[in-house]
Amino acid sequence: MKKAGIIVALLLIVIIGAYFGLREEIDRYNPLVAEEYVYVQINQQPVPENHRYRYKLNGFNAEGKEKKVTFTASTVLKEGTFLKVMAKGSYTKEWEQLASGDVPKTVMEKLR
């Protein structure tokens, strides 16, 4: 009985660790996770990673709900740049640069 408890505990640790370690890949293929646009403003320096630059930013969806997004770019983006990011959970499908006038007003108020 004691061995069964240890095995179950180890399996839970492995499953939870795999979820957090592979969260982006799990969200990418999970049909239960909805895609949504998240609006962000570049307000910090990226982390260099394999000839790309990784950004971890807080943004807002069209309803004004705060979301965390992580994405990479091939160049360093100018501070203050607005982006529209297609996010599916913690996976980022694509992003595009926006002019400040293209950002919804409710989101713009929260980004500033």
Q: What is the pLDDT of residue 23?
A: 67
The predicted structure's pLDDT at residue 30 = 80
| CA–CA dist 100, 112 (Å, integer) | 11
pLDDT digits (tens, 9 = 90+) for 17-58: 766 666 677 777 788 888 899 999 999 999 999 899 999 999
Which of 94, 52, 102 is closest to 75 using CA atoms?
52
Each residue of 54-98: pLDDT tens digit?
999 999 998 889 988 888 899 999 999 999 999 888 788 899 999
**pLDDT given at position 78:** 93
Backbone angles phi, psi at 32, to 5 degrees: -85, -10
